[in-house]
Amino acid sequence: MAGAESLTGFAHFLVGIVINEDPKSKLASDGSPLLERIIGSVRGSIEWFGGLSLLGAQVIRECFRRPFEFGEVIRQVFEIGWRSTPLIILSGLAVGIVLSMHTRATLERFGAAAMIPTALAFALVKETGPLITGLLISGRVGAGIGAELGGMRVTEQIDALESLAVNSFKYLVFTRVVACALCLPLLTIIMDFSGMLGGFIAEAIISGSTLRLYFSQAFGSLAFADFIPATLKTVVFGLIIGGTSSFLGYNATGGAAGVGRAATQSVVFSSVLLILMNVILVKFIAFLFPVAGG
Amino acid sequence: MEANKKFMVGLFVAGALLLFALGLFLIGNSTQLFTKSFEVKADFAKVTGLQVGSKVRVAGMDAGAITVIEVPASPSAKFRVHVRIVETMHPIVRQDSIATIQTDGLLGNKFLDVGAGTEGSPPAPKNALIPSKEPFDLGDLMDQMSETVKNVNLLMAGVKDEVITALANISDVAHSANRLIKTSTPQVRAIMESSNRIAANIREISDGVRDGRGAVGALFNDPQLAEDVKKTIHDAGATVQTIRETSDRARSIITKVDDSDIVPQVRKTVQNMEQITLQVKAAVEKFQSASGEGGVAENLQRALADAHEAMSDLSDDTEALKHNFLFRGYFKQRGFFDLASINLPDYKAGKFAKGFQRYPTWIEAADLFEKDPKGVEVISASGKQKLDAAMAEVMRLPRNGPLIVEGYSAEGEASQQYLDARRRAVRVQAYITDRFHLRPAYVGTVVMGAVKAQGGAQFLDGIKIVSYYKK
Amino acid sequence: MSEIDAKNAIEFNGVSKSFDKRCVLNNLSFNVKEGTGYVLLGRSGTGKSVTLKLICGLLQPDAGSVKVAGVDITGMDSTALTPVRKQMGFLFQSAALFDSISVGANVAFALKRNTDKSSEEIHQRTQSVLESVGLGKEYDKMPSDLSGGMRKRAGLARALALEPSILLVDEPSAGLDPITSAEIDDLLLHVKQNNTTLVVVTHNIPSARVLGDRLAFLDNGIILAEGTAEELEQSEHQLVRDFMKSKQGG
């Protein structure tokens, strides 16, 4: 497949943080002039995006075609959602405690210690919660999907599925992308709340705030336009994580090494794409909900 | 897929959705979205950043949100703000509740504060239009301030000339007044001297009274009298209270003066001031021009002289009071010399202040006095120097006895001699009492009149200061 | 020959396939009659496995057409291929068992998805298929717990679960000892006797002799020789004759 090469091109061109791991890559070995290499990189990047976009389009198309693979989607929600919950809760608590301590240090200087729950809620709900959830899941789930599908590809399990008259794309890719898109907002909500709970724990130890006061203060100055779009934007994060890692795993080549590469690149590319997409989404949300407080 | 997994997935999805719902509820609760509520309206010329969804507080308590802001159809019309308030707050939202746009903290979000109404006013019905107060905006204040400064600048430029003229007038007036004051200084000083003596006398009397001596002191111990005094004091208190209230009212009136009227009023006042100063100037000029014989200046001087006389009389009166039977006991006890009741034969016979050493100092009238333009004898500058020198000697002695100023005069008939001698003694007494801060009770005068010098035919003409002291 | 009357289960017409400019199949044409065994021989990397994947629709030809059971599957996507694939079984070289589910679930997988059978019927059918390949007791074992031969048999059981009319077999004896290999051959022969068309890719000449009614020798993307085992032994090509003489093949 052209995936690996174009992928490397993409890496060189756009991100520049992934070292070239493909021994077959012409870019690494041949002494072609710089210009050609750059053109090759650009071309590779565009091809890679093309492939990913086609995958996205196919996922959308599959949404309207039988079978809907509900059972497999639920199984993936279990794998991606339920099994990530402990990680998310733990990280959320830690992030909440740390954020609370930092905001306290800053706000106390201005005598605004009463603003801590509000500041924490804003930070968590609007940006930190969705982004950290996205990055954690791209690490845990992205690598998992990349490795699993890559493994299935190189051991012919995907071909085997096809031979059993199963639409492997739908069965493997579609279900994972959908499950990711479903789970990310749910995990983000859990992250938001566990972060707030962590902040409350830190606050309760220092200032003895009550849970009820803390949460009503925290949510008091938030508007629906702060909470809902920021949470729902993680659907896009889910699509990116599921799509990118499925794409890389599903199209993996080169045996065990290829599987490893697919896993690593799933994390790297889904994280980078997620962060870049976040910039666009924040702007887009600000455009759609200009009233959102803060 | 086993049932266990399905259960976990269900738990995960339901739990997360529950948290989502909780978040929505908490946010909705802060804007009281899910509580029974009613709506009122308020009009504002400016909304200063108030938005749909902004918080609403009733008497400081979170009570709802802004639902709609109607944009006015014309610049002169106002924004109509629809306010949703929770039903529980309805009892205190009255028809006279005032809506104001305020800022949460110094830099916080805008919110609408609806004040609690008054008891007498009926509760605001649904969709009622409640009164509003335009928001106080720091930017507006700045605008107004800069506008005011601009106005003041304009005004200043406008009134500058007037002020300069007025100041010139004032300067003229001051000059005139200065001249006037110079000419009347001796009289004024004499008055002051008399006043000083009066004050000292009164102080002595009141000291005595406070100590409960004499009949007046006794009177103060009378309960009835004390009651009367108390009542009088109370009345005085009430009067003071009335005055204070009056001044408070005056202050509040001043405070209520509409800001916008001040600027023209200042202009008017300055104009008035100019007029007044012009009038004063005219008056002063008239006064000066008329200060010849029988003019205003003459009148003033006469008035001052009269005042002096009156003061002298009062001084004498208080002096007399000291010797009144009511106070006599007190002064006797204090070992005071009854300087006012020295009788001349006894004094001449040397019966006064027996056991005291005498230190006399003689000063000739020619050295001491000069005639002012009106022909009245006053102490001359050189005379004052002589007196100061003489007193310097006197002050060296122990100050434990009385000081007597003896007045002598040789001119004219006996009555004229007496009057001149008395005036001389009083003048010197007043001067030294004032100059050396002597207690008036210790400085007495004795009118010697026309006395021939010992072993001579010449009449003595001057004063003798006799200091009595004990070693 | 009697087979002339029989229908073609598989038809290749001028099929070409390249990977990265490397030509694997070049204008390949052949037919497989229903109920016969067709063995593709050849050295490694000559496109035998690619041919199998083309039959199954896992790969698409660059040129030419592939007909399976009278249906032209060229250019069909996964969903359109479903009815065709239901008639096919594929035994992969590595068996390609789904390693996240049990052996029984592997076999039942296609039954669950492609039939309306109740779970009871599926279980019975799975059990009987597993027993037919000698894995009756391994229903709940995970694929990783099985030996190579057992995996191959489990893969066969999975491929046979839907009672396909065409069975594609990739290297049935690869990595297996001769005895186990013979056992697999026996199973495949049994399948063929139930009127199932067999297409087998192998290096193993004894297997080829047992299973193949017709044999084809692929080299450089073309069929160098085609015919019965005896015909190939008499081939004009030295390479084919040498290949047929070897006992085990490559």
Interface present between B and C (3 or more CB pairs within 8 Å): no
pLDDT given for residue B339 in this prediction:
66
pLDDT in tens, A36-73: 888 888 898 888 889 888 998 888 888 888 788 888 99
Cis-peptide into A67, omega within 30 deg = yes
Domain check: are A89 and A125 in the same one? yes
CB contact under 8 A, C79 and A156: no
- CB under 8 Å to A216, separation ≥6 — which residues? B26, B29, B30
From first to last of its 250 residues, chain C has per-residue pLDDT tens of 444 456 888 999 999 998 888 888 888 899 998 889 999 988 887 888 899 999 998 899 999 999 998 889 988 888 888 888 888 999 998 888 998 899 999 999 988 888 888 989 999 999 999 998 888 898 899 999 998 888 988 999 999 888 899 999 998 888 788 888 888 888 899 888 888 999 999 888 888 888 889 999 988 888 888 888 888 888 888 888 888 887 654 3
- B63: part of which helix (H) or strand (E)? strand B61-70
Task: Write down the pLDDT at residue A257.
Answer: 92
Residues B215, C116: Cα–Cα separation, whole Å: 134
Element (H, E) at B103: strand B99-103
Please state which of the ranges B209-213, B214-218, B367-371, C95-99 shows the lowest mean pLDDT: B214-218
In this prediction, residue C249 carries a pLDDT of: 43
Do A60 and A200 sit in the same domain of this protein?
Answer: no
pLDDT at B68: 87
Indicate if A81 and A127 belong to the same structural domain.
yes
Percent of chain A whose predicted confidence (pLDDT) is above 90: 50
> Same domain, yes or no, for A101 and A243?
yes
Q: Tally C-beta pairs within 8 A across A and C.
A: 69
The larger pLDDT score, comparing residue B216 to residue B163, is at: B163
More confident residue, B253 or A218: A218
CA nearest neighbour of B97 among B58, B50, B46, B60: B58
Is there a single domain that holds both residue A224 and residue A236?
Answer: yes
Nearest CA in chain A to C159: A164
* Cβ separation A156–C109 shorter than 8 A: no
Average pLDDT, chain B: 73
Same domain, A160 and A269: yes
Tell whether A38 and A102 lie within a shared domain: no
Helix ranges (H only) for B211-258 are 214-221, 223-256
Neighbours of chain B (3+ CB pairs under 8 A): A
Q: How many domains does chain A have?
A: 2
Question: Is C67:C8 a contact under the CB 8 Å cutoff?
Answer: yes
Boundary-marking domain end, from A65, A88, A106: A65
A121 sits in which H/E element: helix A116-123
Chain-chain contact of A216 with B13 (C-beta, under 8 angstroms): no
Across the interface, of B8, B23, B53, the residue whose CB is closest to A82 is B8
Cβ of A190 within 8 Å of Cβ of B15? The answer is: yes
- Taking the CA of residue B281 as centre, how many other CA atoms within 13 Å lie in the half-sphere pointing to its CB? 14
> How far apart are alpha carbons B42 and B293 in whole angstroms?
78
What b/e string do you get for B331-363 counting C-beta neighbours within 10 Å, with b at 16 or more? Answer: beeeebbebeebeeeebeeeebbeebeebebeb
Report the mean per-residue pLDDT for chain A: 85
How would CATH label the architecture of B337-469? 2-Layer Sandwich (3.30)
- Mean pLDDT, to the nearest integer, of A209-235? 86
Q: Is the distance from CB of B45 to CB of B79 less than 8 angstroms?
A: yes
Whether the CB of C38 is below 8 Å from some CB of chain A: the reply is no
Are residues A48 and A184 both part of a single domain? Answer: no
The answer to whether position A293 is within a domain reads no
Q: Given A26, A41, A65, which residue is the final one in a domain?
A: A65
Quick: pLDDT tens for B7-65. 888 899 999 999 999 888 888 776 666 678 888 999 988 888 888 878 888 888 888 88
Asked whether the whole model's pTM tops 0.90, one would answer no
Residue A2 falls inside a structural domain: yes
pLDDT at B393: 84
Decide if B26 and A75 are in contact by the 8 Å CB cutoff: no
Residues A205 and A242 reside in one and the same domain: yes
**Bigger pLDDT: B232 vs B419:** B419
Does residue A294 sit within a domain?
Answer: no
Is A228 inside any structural domain? yes
Touching A: B residues 4-63, CB under 8 Å: 5-6, 8-9, 11-13, 15-17, 19-20, 22-24, 26-31, 51-53, 62
Q: Are residues A139 and A258 in the same domain?
A: yes
User: Which of A10, A31, A65 is the C-terminal boundary of a domain?
Assistant: A65
Residue A117's nearest CA partner among A188, A190, A200 is A200
Does residue A83 belong to any structural domain of this protein?
yes
A232 and A107 together in one domain:
yes
Return the DSSP state at A82: G
Contact indicator for B16, A186 with CB cutoff of 8 Å: yes
pLDDT tens figures, B332-381: 444 455 666 677 787 877 777 777 888 888 888 888 888 878 777 888 88
Sorted by where each begins, the domain ranges of chain B are 1-30, 36-136, 160-319, 337-469
Higher pLDDT, B170 or C196: C196
- Residue A23: inside a domain, yes or no? yes
Compare CB distances from B27 to A82, A222, A291 and report the shortest one's residue: A222
Are A141 and A278 within one domain?
yes
Please tell me the least confidently modeled range out of A120-129, A144-153, A184-193, B188-197. B188-197
Look up the domain containing A25 and give its range: 1-65
